[in-house]
Amino acid sequence: MMETPLLEAHGLGLRFGTIPALDGVSLEIWPGEVVAIVGESGSGKTTLLRVLSGLLRPDAGSVAYRGPDGATHSVHDMGEAALRRLMRSDWGFVHQNPRDGLRMGVSAGGNVGERLMAVGARHYGGIRAEATEWLRRVEIDPARIDDTPQQFSGGMQQRLQIARTLVTRPRLVFMDEPTGGLDVSVQARLLDLIRELVADLGLAVLLVTHDIAAARLLAHRLLVMRQGRVVEQGLTDRVLDDPQHEYTQLLVASVLAA
Amino acid sequence: MSTATGYNFAYLDEDTKRMIRRAILKAVAIPGHQVPFGSREMPLPYGWGTGGIQVTASIIGPQDRLKVIDQGADDTTNAVSIRRFFARVAGVPTTERTSEASIIQTRHRIPETPLREGQILVYQVPMPEPLFRLEPRVAETKRLHAMADYGLMHVRLYEDIARHGHIAISYNYPVMVNGRYLMAPSPIPAFDNPKMDRMPALQLFGAGREKRIYAVPPYTAVRSLDFEDHPFEPVRAKAACALCGSRESYLDEVVTDDRGGRMFLCSDTDYCGERQAAVQRDAAE
């Protein structure tokens, strides 16, 4: 494993009016590591994700990212052009609603190809071959490469979004409730797929979810958030099997057993 | 034709012309970049060339000779009206000969006769934003231009090839200017795109309704977007002009009856007429 973290946040604070959305949050993500942030609605999970990925500027604290060149950059000082470049090459973002991450009027192949073209691919045959390969990897029939996402089921749309995100081989992927809104059997297959791809590609993933089961399946490390604070963190199994904080205990106890 | 009295030279007042000239200078300084300007109400409807007329009005002088074409022709309504407008409000001589004109205002075509240094080509532009229809938010398109983030345009070309087997944009084919800005060349046929590249004449684009001016200075690189394995190909009807026999010029298809009869004619009437006159001269000698 590398000696420095990929992404390092220190003392993040952000208030929306009088509401503290983030309060002294620090975390590190190391290469190849899956970190899950769990907590109830309104606990600041998504805000944290937006701050870490540079979409939102915090009132206090800093986020540092170590680029492929080995140099460390402050995410909020790097400027919009550099951040956008990062967003379309070295980072990926998987949205809860595939409609936010896909172009619904553009074919599946075009959706996967967009990120390739954005980083300079200009060979149609090459782009198409790469898109076909990625559709196969996310278990979408490559014969549907020219269909638009509108003709896909919810689960397929989500898998297409993942293919589109991973096609440029990012090193760090942010996922915001990737299994939200899907039924359980589709969720299970999607989780399997994500786990496989993450292991294959050695991705670092920051996963935001309220689904404890998904977090247990995917994450190496877990952060539990409540009212903008990290109340507990540690290895996933440790936190879930032996919760220390009363809120974590409540959260674990609230999981429905089938 | 008598010059109308009661108007400033070339219709617009001098302050307005200065404002437009400032926009033009900025546009020339940043090739392909769209510069906003305070477009004025003109005595004709939007879509009939208000942007082009304002650009022409602010650069024209008494020593200029003006040519106006619409779809390549000098004798169509739009061309005739605009030519007469400037003859009346500026009293400038007009011409139909491409080589004699110092300013050529055009809608939808670039003349077949190569332009030379010192000439100015003024385009009438309906929609200056090449990312229009791909990105509905104007603020976002500006950001994309600022970041030179043009992957989206290639997605459009990709979709065309996936759907039709080739890039099916036949007019207003997007170009990169000076390797930096993506630009809509106005609705000229893709056939005319190569003429823009390193053209010795100055090219000015005016969009009246959208209130934008942009420019391509002389000898600036203008490259049509394409893929390595699907290179840009200018499309031309596979025929010769029925009047002058040209196999190089851009052709209009004219339906002659209701039984499938048709003929192909040069869209550039000046070019076609010159060639016919040359043939007649040769025959007489």
Best probe of the A interface among B159, B225, B228, by most A CBs < 10 A, is B159
Query: How far is the CA of A48 from the CAs of A34, A106, A161, B38, in angstroms?
Result: 16, 31, 22, 44
Boundary of a domain, candidates A137, A169, A201: A169
Helix (H) or strand (E) holding B155: helix B151-164
Q: Which of B149, B158, B163 sits opposite A113 (nearest CB)?
A: B158
Q: Which of A129, A149, A169 is the last residue of a domain?
A: A169
pLDDT at B94 over 60: yes
A68: confidence class by pLDDT, cuts 50, 70, 90: confident
Same domain, A1 and A58: yes
Last residue of one domain, picked from the residues A169, A191, A219: A169
pLDDT greater than 50 at residue A1: no
Catalytic residue among B38, B165, B244, B273: B244
d(CA B243, CA B146): 48
In chain A, the percentage of residues whose pLDDT exceeds 90 is 59
Q: Are residues A106 and A233 in the same domain?
A: no
The CA distance from B266 to B250, in Å, is 6
| Catalytic residue list contains B272 | yes
Question: Are the C-beta atoms of A59 and A14 separated by less than 8 Å?
Answer: yes
For A29-48, how does the pLDDT look when each residue is reduced to its tens digit (9 = 90+)? Answer: 999 899 999 988 888 888 99
Whether residues A159 and A179 share a domain: the answer is no
**Confidence grade of residue A146 (pLDDT, cut at 50, 70, 90):** very high
Residues A162 and A55 in one domain: no
Task: Give residue B250's pLDDT.
Answer: 96
B68, B74 Cβ separation under 8 angstroms:
yes
- Residue in B158, B164, B224, B233 to test binding to A, most A beta-carbons within 10 Å: B158
| pLDDT number for residue A257 | 63
pLDDT digits (tens, 9 = 90+) for A208-243: 988 888 898 899 999 999 999 999 999 999 999 999
Amino acid at B14: E
Choose the closest CB to A106 out of B159, B161, B230.
B159
Task: Give percent above pLDDT 70 in chain B.
Answer: 99
Same domain for A30 and A135, yes or no, is no
Q: What is the DSSP string of chain A?
A: --SS-SEEEEEEEEEETTEEEEEEEEEEE-TT-EEEEE--TTSSHHHHHHHHTTSS--SEEEEEEE-TTS-EEETTTS-HHHHHHHHHTTEEEE-SSHHHHS-TTS-HHHHHHHHHHHTT---HHHHHHHHHHHHHHTT--GGGTTS-GGGS-HHHHHHHHHHHHHTT--SEEEEESTTTTS-HHHHHHHHHHHHHHHHHHT-EEEEEES-HHHHHHH-SEEEEEETTEEEEEEEHHHHHHS--SHHHHHHHHTSPP-
Band (pLDDT 50/70/90 cuts) for residue A119 is confident
If asked whether residues A151 and A71 sit together in one domain, one would say no
B231 touches chain A (CB under 8 A): no
pTM for the whole thing?
0.88
- Measure CB to CB from residue A124 to each of B143, B152, B229 and give the nearest one: B229
Shared domain for A137 and A175, answered yes or no, is no
Q: Which two tokens stand for residue B141?
A: 């398109």
Question: How many CB pairs below 8 A link A and B?
Answer: 52
For residues A57 and A67, state if they share a domain: yes
For residue A244, is pLDDT > 60? Answer: yes
The answer on A108 and A61 residing in a single domain is no
A117:B162 CB<8 A = no
Parent domain of A58: 1-90+170-258
Total domain count, chain A: 2
Q: Are residues A40 and A165 in the same domain?
A: no
Residue A176: give its domain's CATH number: 3.40.50.300
pLDDT (tens digit, 9 = 90+) per residue, B22-57? 999 999 999 999 999 999 999 988 888 999 999 999
Compute the mean pLDDT over every residue in chain A, rounded to the nearest whole number: 90
If asked whether residues A12 and A1 sit together in one domain, one would say yes
State yes or no: is B241 an active-site residue.
yes
Contacts of B127 by beta carbon, 8 Å cutoff, 6+ apart: B172, B184, B207, B210
CA angle A21, A27, A29 (to 5 degrees): 130
Active site residue B6: no
ipTM of the complex in this document: 0.86
Residues A104 and A227 reside in one and the same domain? no
Share of chain B above pLDDT 90, in %: 90
